[in-house]
Every structure is written in C-alpha cells, then in structure tokens.
Amino acid sequence: MDEDLTMLIEPSRAGALLEIGVLDLDGDDPVAIHAMPLRGKFHRFL
C-alpha cells in the first residue's frame, strides 16, 4: 500500500462506521480518496 495513504475508521453523522482513505494526511493538503461503509476486514482495527 502507498506509504502516503492512511486508512481511517470514523463514524458518519448518523453513527454508521466508515472507512476513509486519505492521501498525505500529515501534509498541508490532505485529500480523501476513498469513503464507504466499514467492511468486515477492517473490524479488527476497532
């Protein structure tokens, strides 16, 4: 996986868990490139 890509697990405003992929999270201009409902393979990171 790209070292500049960070995967986050965050709740939506409605409380549903989402997986969000962000490029350059610690940089000056982070960009979300992926967002969808949390898949089972990521539940272990909760």
Residues 6+ apart with CB under 8 A from 28: none
Q: What is the structure's pLDDT at 24?
A: 92
- Of residues 4 and 15, more confidently modeled: 15
- Residue 17: band (very low, low, confident or very high) from pLDDT cuts 50, 70, 90: very high
3 has a pLDDT exceeding 80: no
Q: Average pLDDT, stretch 6-14? A: 95
Domain count, the chain: 1
Cα distance between residue 7 and residue 21, in whole Å: 5
Structural domain of residue 35, as residue ranges?
5-45
1 has a pLDDT exceeding 90: no
Q: What 3 state SS string does 26-46 have?
A: CCCCCEEEEEEECCHHHHHHC
Does the pTM exceed 0.85?
Answer: no
Q: What is the structure's pLDDT at 4?
A: 87
